[in-house]
Copies of this chain bind each other. A is one copy, B any other.
Amino acid sequence: MTRPLILHPDRLFPADKVSREIARNLYESVKDLPIISPHGHTDPSWFADNKPFGNPANLLIRPDHYVFRMLYSQGIALERLGIRTKDGTEVEQDPRKIWQLLADNYHLFRGTPSRTWLDTVFHDVFGLDVQLSSETAELYYERIDSELKKPEFLPRALFERFNIEVIATTESPLDDLRHHQTILDSGWKGRVITAFRPDPVLDPDFEGFVDNLAQLAEITGEDTSTWAGYLAALRNRREFFKQMGATSTDHGHPTATTANLSAAEAEALFLKVSRGNCSAADAELFRGQMLTEMARMSIEDGLVMQIHPGSFRNHNKVVFERFGRDKGCDIPSQTDYVHALQPLLEAVGNEPDLTIILFTLDETSYSRELAPLAGHYPALKLGPSWWFHDSPEGMRRFREQVTETAGFYNTVGFNDDTRAFLSIPARHDVARRMDCVWLAQLVSDHRLQEDEALELAADLAYNLAKKAYKL
Contact = CB atoms under 8 A, between A and B. Distances in A.
A452 B131 CA distance: 11
A349 B11 contact: no
Q: Report which residue of A113, A131, A367 has the largest number of chain B beta carbons within 10 angstroms of its beta carbon.
A: A367
Nearest to A364: B364
Interface in A91-139: 107-113, 115-116, 131
**Interface hub of A12, A75, A111, A394 (most chain B Cβ within 10 A):** A111
B110 A332 contact: no
Interface stretch (A25-33, A207-215, A233-241, A309-317): A309-317
Choose among A16, A336, A376, A445 the residue with the greatest number of B CB atoms under 10 Å from its CB.
A376
User: Which of A18, A73, A336 has the most C-beta atoms of chain B within 10 angstroms of its own C-beta?
Assistant: A73
Nearest to A113: B404
B316 A377 contact: yes
Nearest to A312: B338
A350 B316 contact: yes
A264 interface: no
A339 interface: yes
Contacts of A107: 409, 452, 455
Interface in A46-70: 69-70
A388 interface: yes
Contacts of A441: 15
Contacts of A16: 14-16
A47 B317 CA distance: 47
A189 interface: no
Interface in A391-432: 391-394, 400-401, 403-410
A171 interface: no
- How many monomers of this chain does the complex have? 3
Interface stretch (A2-10, A142-150, A173-181, A274-282): A2-10
A263 interface: no
A15 B404 contact: no
B447 A116 contact: yes
A104 to B, nearest CB: 13
Contacts of A373: 315, 331
Interface string A215-236: 0000000000000000000000
Interface in A446-462: 446-449, 451-452, 455-456
B375 A70 contact: yes
B446 A6 contact: yes
A190 interface: no
B368 A362 contact: yes
A248 interface: no
Query: Shortest 7 CB-CB distances between A and B: which pairs?
Result: A75-B352, A8-B446, A11-B446, A15-B444, A391-B404, A111-B403, A333-B338
27 contacts: A3-B449, A8-B446, A15-B445, A70-B407, A73-B374, A73-B375, A73-B376, A73-B410, A74-B410, A108-B409, A110-B407, A111-B408, A111-B442, A111-B447, A112-B403, A312-B339, A315-B342, A315-B345, A316-B345, A318-B350, A331-B338, A333-B336, A362-B368, A367-B388, A367-B389, A393-B401, A394-B404
Interface of A: 3, 6-8, 10-16, 18-19, 69-70, 72-75, 107-113, 115-116, 131, 312, 315-319, 328-329, 331-334, 336, 338-339, 342, 345-346, 349-350, 352, 361-364, 367-369, 371-378, 380, 388-389, 391-394, 400-401, 403-410, 441-442, 444-449, 451-452, 455-456
